């Protein structure tokens, strides 16, 4: 009888531990992965580099159910929750989902949390390829050698394309939401105007500001507000009822930027500005060649009214992709359509991704 009771207790304890383990695996707890000394594409190295990440689900025995969600500009590892869940495209009961944050996210190694001599504006210039290699180290540390898919919004889409170009044998498919494989001339100029608007404030002081550059923040916030939504979004006043007026939208934007580290924001803008998968070794700056080399299946979902990554840029790129499903997001929410903030857009994206992954 004692043996039976002991076995029963052992079974109960084991079951509880298993349940708790699964809960931890699926609860989206924010974690940090130590990279140690990390050398950027520029050749500069920093010590004690780290990447913030979150996982949902468990890696199966075949290790073929992993999906990577790389972060976007201003996004965090938990920002992809609109895609994760039993009733969404990415069910943790089916997939092992890993969301990573880029350098400059303010949680992963960033200008704001790196000690001298690489603090603040002295943080190394970061390439999207650096973010890909850092997330690859995280995945390897989690036992992932192959990805079912890389799914990314905005700068996350840039990372998805880069994964397919840099590590073609390790990725079955990519999903690019409101982002392209290269930042073209207009995007580079737009980002430069944003950076100039912020840094023109004398209080910026080359990034070593001791008081907030209030005028620069206001100009910076107004720039992003003007471009992130479509013209029709503004004309139809789709900001209501959340905001009562255009002026409130702008005031809220300024307020939100007060809570962010500005050196992190500028560093990420430079990373976005510089991106081009044709700079990957072997492509010699030929974007058509780089795109044609991608053998992963591609679900390309530009925003129909995106002003950051115009649908015409995506239409041009798709002509060079060999295995692509092209599905523009029919939304008036501009660039934000790909980030899941609007329920209608989120439902559309989930439906398309779920069908693509079947």
**Catalytic residue numbers?**
154, 306, 335
| Spatial distance between the Cα atoms of 304 and 59, rounded to a whole number of angstroms | 35
CA dist 126 and 101 (Å) reads: 13
Cβ neighbours of residue 177 closer than 8 Å, sequence gap 6 or more = 151, 152, 153, 154, 156, 157, 301, 329, 338, 339, 349
* Cβ–Cβ under 8 Å, residues 134 and 38: yes
271: left (phi over 0), alpha (psi -120 to 50) or beta: alpha
Give CA 201 to chain center in angstroms. Answer: 29
- Contacts of 35-39 with CB under 8 Å at 24 or more apart are 35/109, 35/134, 35/137, 38/109, 38/130, 38/134
Length of the chain: 358
Torsion sign, CA atoms 85, 86, 92, 97: negative
Radius of gyration of the chain (CA): 21
Tell me if 181 sits within 8 A of 287, measured CB to CB: yes
Are 118 and 91 a contacting pair, CB within 8 Å?
A: no
173/297 Cα distance (integer angstroms):
4
Structure tokens, 294: 């991608």
């Amino acid at each position: 009888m004692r043996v039976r009771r002991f076995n029963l207790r052992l079974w109960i304890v084991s079951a509880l531990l298993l349940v708790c383990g699964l809960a931890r695996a699926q609860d989206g707890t924010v974690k940090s992965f130590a990279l140690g000394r990390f050398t950027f594409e520029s050749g500069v190295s920093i010590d004690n580099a780290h990447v913030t990440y979150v996982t949902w689900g468990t890696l199966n025995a075949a290790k073929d159910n992993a999906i990577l969600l790389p972060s976007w500009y201003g996004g965090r590892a938990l920002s992809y929750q609109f895609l994760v869940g039993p009733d969404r495209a990415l069910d943790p009961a089916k997939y092992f989902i890993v969301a990573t944050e880029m350098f400059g996210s303010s949680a992963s190694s960033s200008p704001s949390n790196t000690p001298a001599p690489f603090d603040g504006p002295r943080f190394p210039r970061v390439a999207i390829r650096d973010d890909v290699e850092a997330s690859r180290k995280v995945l390897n540390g989690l036992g992932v050698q192959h990805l079912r898919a890389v799914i990314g919004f905005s700068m996350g889409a840039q990372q998805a394309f880069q994964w397919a170009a840099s590590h073609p044998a390790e990725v079955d498919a990519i999903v690019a939401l409101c982002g392209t494989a290269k930042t073209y001339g207009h995007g580079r100029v737009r980002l430069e105007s944003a950076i100039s608007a912020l840094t023109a404030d004398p209080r910026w002081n080359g990034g070593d500001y001791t008081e907030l550059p209030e005028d620069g923040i206001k100009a910076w916030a107004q720039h992003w507000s003007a471009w992130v939504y479509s013209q029709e979004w503004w004309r139809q006043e789709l900001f209501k009822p959340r905001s009562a007026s255009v002026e409130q939208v702008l005031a809220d934007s300024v307020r939100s930027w007060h809570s962010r580290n500005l050196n992190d924001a500028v560093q990420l803008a430079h990373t976005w500005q510089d991106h081009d998968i044709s700079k990957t070794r072997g492509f010699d700056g030929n974007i058509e060649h780089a795109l044609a080399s991608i053998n992963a299946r591609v679900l390309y979902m530009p925003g129909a009214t995106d002003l950051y990554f115009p649908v015409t840029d995506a239409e041009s790129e798709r002509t060079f992709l060999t295995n692509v499903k092209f599905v523009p997001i029919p939304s008036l929410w501009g660039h934000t359509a790909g980030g899941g903030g609007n329920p209608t857009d989120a439902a559309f994206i989930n439906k398309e991704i779920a069908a693509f992954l079947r």
